[in-house]
Chains A and B, each alone.
Chain A
Amino acid sequence: MAGHEQTTPNRSDVKTTKQEGSKKHIIAFIFSILLTFIAFALVMAGEINTDFVYIMLVVLAIVQVFTQMAFWMHMKDRGHTFAIIAILSGVVVVFTCVIMALYWTTW
């Protein structure tokens, strides 16, 4: 296991030494708060068509998750190919299960 203690050159070292935008992350945070607030508001409002609310809730959740994973977990950055494959594969399996569960219980 050569290289355990030694620092070995890493491809994404070459990447960017530009300043890690604190701004980007704070914007992502505010955006997440906003999405959460909208979701809660939609539900608390009460009088809105339930199907529409359901769809909006799912969309809002997915957008928020994308935001957090892309910015906070660096998934939009270089060197995350296998990270994306891993999460995407998990999502595909889950999606299949959830569709089946919904079909089974609501069809």
Chain B
Amino acid sequence: MSSHSHVEGQLPHEPERATLEGRNKITGFWLFLGGETVLFGTLFAAYLTLRGQIMDGPAPNELFDFLLVAIATALLLTSSLTSVFSMQAMHRKNTKALIGWLLVTLVLGAAFLGLEIYEFNHYVHLGHTFSASAFSTSFYTLVGFHGAHVAFGLFWVILLLFQLKKRGLNTTTAPKVYLFSLYWHFIDVVWVFIFTVVYLMGKVG
């Protein structure tokens, strides 16, 4: 059923944009990212409003583990770079490299998530629970929503890896991985704001 990729005998230059469906998906996904901007923006606005309300709980600059956050940031940033490499491989029609770089992205992303779960667990033991204060609720909601997006992305890329293995690169699978790549970059962009606004500004006070 992959006769679609052999219409002209070989894959077109930018396979993700070669069909109307592909172009629709890309346009639609950018619009979706615009909506996600507002989603995270609202969460940020709520966090900014409530970040001073720590009640009896630990304050941000006592609480946050900066080494952990730095490592997590490095992991996510690198995973964003590897997803760039995967797209370059796709445009060079190198399916093996595409799959390889996506796998690396997956591993780095999973490491990020693992660290974050460890971090949250650590905070809970320090009294920074979801219900402790308005600060804690908005912290876990904002950072948690981001983490949930990372988790969804990981499931998504696993599904895509199976599809690539089974069907290879064609004008149907190309838009899907391109979309994943956009999503993954966006998640990293949101993380830039999270470590800036939540962790770094939290430290400054």
Residues of A that sit less than 8 Å from B by CB: 1, 3-8, 10, 12-13, 17, 20, 22, 25-26, 29, 32-33, 36, 39-40, 42-44, 50, 53-54, 57-58, 60-61, 64-65, 68-69, 72-73, 79-80, 82-83, 86-87, 89-91, 93-94, 97-98, 100-102, 104-105
The answer to whether A86 touches B31 (Cβ under 8 A) is yes
Cβ of B197: which chain A residues have Cβ within 8 Å of it?
61
The reply to whether A13 and B13 form a contact with Cβ atoms under 8 Å apart is yes
Which of B77, B91, B200 counts the most chain A CB atoms within 10 A? B200
Cα distance, A8 to B38, chains bound together (Å): 33
- Chain A residue with the shortest CB-CB distance to B80: A72
- Tell me, in angstroms, the Cα distance from A8 to B21 when the chains sit together: 10
Total residues of chain B contacting the partner, CB 8 A: 58
Binding site for A on B (CB under 8 A): 4, 7-8, 12-14, 17-21, 23, 27, 30-31, 33-38, 40-42, 44-46, 48-49, 52, 66, 70, 73-74, 77-78, 80-81, 84-85, 88, 91, 171, 182, 185-186, 188-189, 192-193, 195-197, 200-201, 203-205
Q: What total of A-B pairs shows CB separation below 8 Å?
A: 151
Q: List 29 A-B contacts (CB under 8 A).
A: A7-B12, A8-B18, A10-B14, A10-B17, A13-B13, A13-B17, A26-B81, A32-B77, A36-B70, A36-B74, A36-B77, A40-B70, A50-B204, A54-B201, A58-B196, A61-B192, A61-B197, A65-B193, A72-B84, A79-B17, A80-B30, A87-B30, A90-B34, A94-B38, A94-B42, A94-B45, A97-B45, A98-B48, A101-B46
